[in-house]
Amino acid sequence: MTSAFDPSIFLDATFTEALVKRPPMPIGDYTAIIGEVKGRNWQSKDGSKSGGAWDMPLTLQVPAEIQAQLGLKDPVLNLRDSIMLDLNESGTGLDMGLGKNNKLRKYREACDLNKPGEPFSARMFTGKVVIVKLGHEIFEGEPVERINGVARPA
């Protein structure tokens, strides 16, 4: 499917409407589908630390009553969670030591992908259904959604 969108047209377009902030989703548990995981490198602002991360796109299913309450047109909401990876000493692989990569372990358990002896790769998350625990944090004085945990669907 091709899009009729031409980005060059919007560079010179003018608008008079103000953009309106969407109210945050209520705190609670939501069903979500994991999209295509992306890997990235990161470095702290002061340059003292660096590492790898996996970004987890999540498509949340918005219940009809919340959709109506917030005035949302779409029955889904796209959010992103990130897993900061604990790497081994050489920085070439995951640290599989006791208590390492806890957030990754929780995602793997939620997707039934944390079984000893069975192969695993991040791409196996794509399309998996999880329950996300949605919370709020204050950013620049306003509440924003934050993924506080994941679990296996009942």
CA-to-CA distance for 78 and 153, rounded, in angstroms?
19
State residue 1's pLDDT score.
62
pTM summary value: 0.86
DSSP letter at 3 equals -
Q: What is the pLDDT of residues 55-75, one digit of tens each?
A: 999 999 999 999 999 999 999
| Mean pLDDT across the chain | 93
Place of tokens 């060059």: 8
The distance between the two most distant Cα atoms of the chain, rounded to a whole number of Å, is 59
Q: What is the pLDDT of residues 101-143, one digit of tens each?
A: 999 999 999 999 999 999 999 999 999 999 999 999 999 999 9
| Structure tokens belonging to residue 120 | 């695993």
Q: What is the pLDDT of residues 27-44, one digit of tens each?
A: 999 999 999 999 999 888
Is pLDDT of 2 > 80?
Answer: no
Is pLDDT of 8 > 90?
Answer: no
Measure CA 9 to chain center. 31
Q: How far is CA 77 from CA 55, 73, 86, 95, 151, in A?
A: 16, 10, 29, 33, 18
DSSP letters, 83-145, are EEEPB-TTSSSB--STT-SHHHHHHHHHTT---TTS---GGGGTT-EEEEEEEEEEETTEEEE
